[in-house]
Amino acid sequence: MIRLQNEIVNLRAIEPVDIDLLFDLENDIKLWKYSNRYQPYSRDLLQNYITNANKDIFENRQIKFTIIAQDDTAVGFIDLFDYEPFHHRAGVGLVIRNQDQSKGYGGAALELIGVYAQKHLQLHQLYAHIAAENKISIQLFESQGYCFVGKKKDWNFYEGQYHDESIYQKMIE
């Protein structure tokens, strides 16, 4: 049996108790540029998302986990999205609340999601699309074995200008 925990964090299914953290992170205007969003989510919409999160990854093509620190505090979320079972790949999304960044939670969560993806979903690769100027995120993913494989030039428009988006990939077999 695979445990979704290590000495730093554990990953668990998203639950109704996570609504406040999900609401805060999804509605943090500073993060919208990284998620291609320009409007807030209502609490009701997010509650409905949590309620329906128990659907199978094969149906939703995504799965979200809450990242829990060793003191049982929820510190963020990690998800697999655009799940492609035929091609054995999925995208990875990660967000840690500001006050809990640089504490090792992101790296620990990436490690666990890789184990889950390989053992439970038989994935061959994970990928992430990261804003080229998001050096902290790039450093985090590189520290977990993700390699730069390409750049989408002028891919996103925010803060009055176009920004490149870097593609990172990790083979997990």
Do 74 and 18 meet the contact criterion of CB atoms below 8 Å apart? yes
- Whether residue 1 is contained in a domain is answered as no
CATH code at 57? 3.40.630.30
pLDDT in tens, 23-72: 999 999 888 888 877 788 899 999 988 888 877 777 778 999 999 999 99
pLDDT score for 3: 66
CA neighbor of 34 nearest in space, from 155, 153, 141: 155
Question: Which tokens belong to 117?
Answer: 């993806």
Total number of domains in the chain: 1
Q: What is the mean pLDDT of the chain?
A: 92
For the segment 69-85, what is each residue's pLDDT rounded down to a tens digit?
Answer: 999 999 999 999 999 99
Q: Which domain holds residue 48?
A: 9-171
